[in-house]
Amino acid sequence: MDTVNGAQGQGQIRVLIVDHPNLLRDGIANLLNSQIDIEVVACSDTVITAIEAIRKLHPDVALLGWPASSANSNKIFAAIQDSKPRVIMLVDEESKEDFVDAVRQGCCGIVPRQTSTELLIKCIRKVHIGEFWLDRTTTAEVIRRLAKKGSGTTNTGARLGLREQGGALSTREREIVILVAQGFKNKEMAERMFISEQTVKNHLHNIFDKLGVSDRLELALYAIHHNLHDPD
């Protein structure tokens, strides 16, 4: 059954929970609604109702409890590509093979179901303002699994471990690395930095070469690995 919260407060983070009905889902909804700055606008348990809620309610954040590799999750990611909401995956500790799939499909945060309420709330707030959230354990697991997917000595683990050339980056390039790790897209970075989108792309190409990474995911993981994603 889907539930919808009709109330809407100004300045609140509007959250959609997409998961099968269970006590944990209901408990999360109640805990989030107890926060003054968070409002659960709906709980959906089917692809159709989830997509409908995304289009009609325009939530800021979606907590997705289905496995990232499932057909249902693929449809959800396809429906929200390049638009709201920002997705946080609720994952089981034993489903670590889903971590990489989740990040590659565009989720902005991964939170184990067993995590504390405080960390879940912190994740929602961080992701809402445009940051990219993985706890240290999950980050390490993603890096390990990316390394396993690589071949020879050119895998992600080798690149992250052996080509730590952050010192070779310019100030502008370092700023771009931080923004990528926080989930900003090229257009958003260009507007934020008062440069053209093509200039952002040129900087990214140079950064990839300097750090030995092949895509934005690996760059984000590099930033997280070196504590660049949360400069404060």
Are 127 and 165 contained in the same domain? no
Report the share of the chain in percent with pLDDT over 90: 33
- Mean pLDDT value across the chain: 79
CATH of the domain at 83: 3.40.50.2300
Residue corresponding to tokens 């944990």: 24
For residues 94-114, give the mean pLDDT: 77
How many other β-carbons are positioned within 10 Å of the β-carbon of residue 174?
16
232 assigned to some structural domain: no
162 assigned to some structural domain: yes
Are 121 and 9 contained in the same domain? yes
Are 199 and 93 contained in the same domain? no
Domain count along the chain = 2
Are 119 and 165 contained in the same domain? no
Are 126 and 160 contained in the same domain? no
pLDDT of 211-230, one tens digit each?
A: 887 777 678 777 766 666 55
Cβ contact 138:109 at 8 Å = no
pLDDT of 144-175, one tens digit each?
A: 665 555 433 333 333 333 244 555 888 899 88
For residues 81-87, give the mean pLDDT: 77
What pLDDT score does 59 carry?
Answer: 94
Are 37 and 95 contained in the same domain? yes
Are 127 and 194 contained in the same domain? no
The span from the CA of 97 to the CA of 68, in Å, is 9
Which one is predicted more confidently, 152 or 95?
95
pLDDT of 184-213, one tens digit each?
A: 778 889 999 999 999 999 999 999 888 887
Are 80 and 179 contained in the same domain? no
- The DSSP element (H or E) to which 15 belongs, if any, is strand 13-18
